Amino acid sequence: MSLINVIDFKSLGDERGELVSIENNKNIPFEIKRVYYVFKTQKGVARGFHAHKELRQVAICISGSCKFIMDNGKVKESFVLDDPQKGLYINKMQWREMHEFSDDCVLLVLASDVYDESDYIRDYADFIQMVN
């Protein structure tokens, strides 16, 4: 199965422009408990470099673009998020890195749970051990 699971959001747009609506358990495969966004990322900065034991997330680039590298410990796949109508579904136990943020990138993330540092796996060697 591909590591890149993209959700296509239907636009409710008309001649005035586009509009995407996201609802719990409807076009997102979990109940949204937290929303955060990353913006004004400085040139050359990469973020992420962790996996989650349980947390599931959907990342949407609502402005600009950035590149995700997804890694399940066996294969790595990359995907450029550059369309506010596309969400990248990030399952639990997937190592992720975000690179190449455009100056105007606003990366919105919907999460299945509240922030919990104990759910993070921040050491790549630990991650590899846990998935093998």
Query: Closest Cα to residue 41, out of 124, 98, 94, 105?
Result: 105
Residues that bind ligand TYD (CB under 6 A): 34, 36, 38, 47-48, 115
Positions marked catalytic = 50
Helices (H), the chain: 124-131
- Shortest distance, CB of residue 26 to ligand TYD, whole angstroms? 23
Nearer to ligand TYD, 3 or 38 (CB): 38
Q: Two tokens at 78?
A: 């990359």
First to last CA, the chain: 17
Nearer to ligand TYD, 38 or 70 (CB): 38
- Shortest distance, CB of residue 16 to ligand TYD, whole angstroms? 33
